[in-house]
Amino acid sequence: MLTKRIIACLDVRDGQVVKGVQFQQLRHAGDPGELARRYNVEGIDEVVILDITATLEKRQALARTINAVAREIFLPLTVGGGIRSEDDAAAAVDAGADKVSLNTAALRNPELITTLAKRYGSQAVIVAIDAKRREDGFAVFVRSGTTDAAQDAVAWAHEAESRGAGEILLTSMDRDGTKAGFDCEMTAAVSDAVDIPVIASGGAGTFDHFTDVFTSGRADAALAASIFHYAESSVADLKRHLRAHGIPVRL
């Protein structure tokens, strides 16, 4: 049986892992290679490196950081943040990424999804969607959450799939870093609209939040940062908790 994946996210700025709350107030959380090594020992299923300030500061994804992490782990590695062109994606892949995550660039230039899916396969292309609740749905934001994209998350996820995306990484901006729980309603709405896997992100604070997002949220994978970085909880403890609650995980 396919297990539910637990993914650790390393938000990286200037080669160091940082973490904020609702995309603001960044604080230092450690060295990417060291954190990746610890997570691997604890049984993490995948690692995502997000160059979170890249879009604003116009930087390319950091090949050095990718290399430092890829040296430590033999697990699927995704790189996102500031990937705007086929060349940016190729640089990330050449440095050791198995998948690239597109956000702003996918909305601005949806053809890029198809181009990369043709070159590397759909399994290598994740479309990341940052969304906020609205009365009438879930509004997509781009440029690190600063710009309203005038798109609904459910419709955009569906379009991204039809253009060749292999997975959707859905982040609740309302919940990001708050530890108030995943936005299960939003995750379920997107998961129901697509046939590709949906990775839920934003709001993980307790083990039960993960149980919730895998049941009522209908997520295929869950991504978290804060809960793991500061050694508040180990990945292994989380997985034992999930298994005890009937969620299939790799242990």
Q: Whole-angstrom Cα distance, residue 242 to residue 233? A: 13
Sole binder of other proteins in the list 8, 10, 29, 70 (CB under 8 A): 70
Q: Which of 183, 168, 102, 199 is nearest to 138 (CA)?
A: 183
Binding of other proteins by 1 (CB under 8 A): yes
Site string for other proteins, 101-140 (x = CB under 8 A): -------------------xxxxx----------------
Smallest gap, in angstroms, from Cβ of residue 197 to other proteins? 5
The one catalytic residue among 51, 130, 176, 183: 130
Query: Can residue 75 be called a binding residue for other proteins (CB under 8 A)?
Result: yes
Question: Of 129-188, which residues contact other proteins (CB under 8 A)?
Answer: 166-167
- For other proteins, which is the closer residue by CB, 103 or 122? 122
Residue of 16, 20, 30, 98 that binds other proteins (CB under 8 A):
98
| Rg from Cα positions in the chain | 16
Catalytic residue, chosen from 11, 45, 88, 220, is 11
Q: Which is nearer to other proteins, 76 or 137 (CB)?
A: 76
Name residues whose C-beta falls within 8 Å of residue 153's C-beta, 6 or more positions apart in sequence: 129, 131, 137, 138, 139, 140, 170, 186, 189, 190
Number of residues that bind other proteins (CB under 8 A): 32
**Does residue 11 carry a catalytic annotation?**
yes
Nearest distance from C-beta of residue 25 to other proteins, angstroms: 33
31-39, 105-113, 194-202, 234-242 -> range binding other proteins (CB under 8 A)? 194-202
Render the burial of 117-156: b for 16+ CB within 10 Å, e for the rest: beebebebbbbbbbbbbeeeebbbbbebbeeebebbbbeb
- Does 18 bind other proteins (CB under 8 A)? Our answer is no
Residues 211-240 that bind other proteins (CB under 8 A): 218, 220-221
Q: How far is the CB of 5 from other proteins (least distance, A)?
A: 5
Q: Which is nearer to other proteins, 28 or 121 (CB)?
A: 121
Q: Which is nearer to other proteins, 131 or 222 (CB)?
A: 222
Q: Kindly list the catalytic residues.
A: 11, 130
Q: Give the residues lining the site for other proteins (CB under 8 A).
A: 1-5, 40, 45, 70-71, 73-76, 93-96, 98, 120-124, 166-167, 195-197, 218, 220-221, 250
